[in-house]
A = this chain, B = another copy of it.
Amino acid sequence: MASGESSAESAVTPGAVRVALLGCGTVGTEVVRLITEQADDLTARVGAPVELAGVAVRRPHRHPWLTETHGHLVTTDAAALATRDDVDAVVEVIGGIEPVRGWLLAALAAGKSVVTANKALLAEDGPTLAEAADASGADLYYEAAVAGAIPLLRPLRESLAGDRITRVAGIVNGTSNFILSAMSSGGTSYADALEEATRLGYAEADPSADVDGYDAASKAAILASLAFHTRITASDVHREGMRGVSAADVAAARRLGCTIKLLAICERVVDEAPDGSVAESVSARVYPAMVPDSHPLAGVDGAFNAVFVEAEAAGQLMFYGQGAGGAPTASAVLGDLVAVARNRTGGGRSPRESAYADLPVRPIGEVPTRYHVDLEVADREGVLATIAGAFAKQGVSIAAVRQTGGVFGAADGDPGQARLTVVTHSAPEAALSATVSALLELDIVPGVAGVLRVEGLGRAVAALGMGE
């Protein structure tokens, strides 16, 4: 700890672990509150006091509570605070890549431990942060970056460190889940559900990060990196958002006994060659998919998150809780901060990041899933045979076909159209895409109304007795 601080800084308790907080929005405010209100508990748990050394915000006048209660700690100079001599740990809850990356790298280089909730930065450049932490022997923790309050990264990094994880799959974006839940329960359109989410504060003015899957893709990259000891960035994650999910899709899912969820799926894929050699790869992807109502993920509504983890020895695990919000996220931040403080006082370090497995990323075209395809077709003899032929030509096997909806278009003098729903067996994405293209070339197929994946969630489902 440095001596000779200016009087504008807070008094330093001897032996205290001193924390610089960067950002003081919803999460930061709760972090300040918890550090202050639970000071005695934290001291007892750590073996030393944990105290705020400073709070950096861009516009102090926008934080009346903070300036009133902790005015002497407030600064607008985050860069200086992050490397100040009297700071042991930096908690970052601002988000975004720049200028935060530079601040955190400088803090780590100066030996400050870092606790961050910044999923975008971690998914883009986590390894650089990890290297900086290794170089100076500082800690890097980021439990709050994925699934808010749910202890998920520590279990993956530590509890399952002696096991082989095969899959991590779940609902990791509360905003899109809230919208899908509203569409599912209320039969409302995407636009109306988004409007409600925005009104209630679940969605931001620009909802793109949530509804286009960028947020979930960042989280998938972090989860896949930890689970498979391989460097996966957000750009490695196949990403489809949920803007395209229509009320008709929701209704179609319901007819199948399914619910549509925006899923993040990270899998270890093992291919055995004819010569018996084995090649492993990682698939990380985010998209809306139909989930059987009997699967626990189907019942995860509103802003909640839930993640299934499968490992060879542990079998199937599920983690459930609040994925966002000030207090839940702050809980995760504080847990990490206690770990940092324990390490500072007792020696020790956060587990090092490891990318030793260095598995290749499997292209989405080679990832097999089941599909639900909604087709508009001419209501004519022989249509089914033609369509079945188009699927067969691409090697996509059909599990079920159903004519849904009545005849339509007949009033226009047209011979009449019907709607055909096809559910496939597992097929690679590339084969399905080729099938859809081929179908659209047929004059008996005026349009493809919807294509959605159906995720049985494999072994997870089998374990729950649902089969696939």
A interface residue numbers (CB < 8 A to B)? 30, 34, 38, 41-42, 44-45, 47, 143, 149-151, 154-155, 158-164, 229, 296, 299, 311-322, 325, 327-328, 330-339, 342-343, 346-349, 351-352, 354, 356-357
Contact = CB atoms under 8 A, between A and B. Distances in A.
A155 B338 CA distance: 12
A47 to B, nearest CB: 7
Given A151-B155, A354-B45, A162 B317 contact: no
Contacts of A162: 34, 38, 42, 331, 333-338
A155 B154 contact: yes
A164 B38 contact: yes
Contacts of A339: 158, 161
Given A45-B229, A332-B159, A327 B348 contact: no
A330 B313 contact: yes
A-B pairs, top 9 by smallest CB distance, nearest first, are A348-B348, A162-B334, A151-B159, A151-B155, A149-B314, A313-B331, A161-B338, A314-B331, A317-B321
A333 B163 CA distance: 10
A317 B314 contact: no
A251 to B, nearest CB: 23
B317 A319 contact: yes
A41 B336 CA distance: 26
Contacts of A320: 296, 317-320
Tallying the copies of this chain within the complex gives: 2
Contact of A317 (B150, B330, B333): B150
Given A321-B315, A347-B349, A349-B348, A154 B149 contact: no
A327 B160 CA distance: 12
B334 A163 contact: yes
Contact of A313 (B30, B313, B342, B349): B30
Contacts of A299: 296
Nearest to A148: B314
Given A44-B356, A320-B320, A346-B349, A161 B314 contact: no
A151 B160 contact: yes
A63 to B, nearest CB: 20
Given A314-B327, A327-B313, A44 B229 contact: yes
A335 B143 contact: no
Contacts of A354: 44-45
9 contacts: A38-B162, A44-B354, A45-B229, A47-B352, A158-B338, A163-B334, A315-B321, A315-B327, A318-B318
A149 B313 contact: yes
A337 B163 CA distance: 11
A121 B446 CA distance: 71
A311 B346 CA distance: 26
Contact of A161 (B161, B312, B335, B356): B335
Contacts of A154: 151, 154-155, 158-159
A342 B349 CA distance: 9
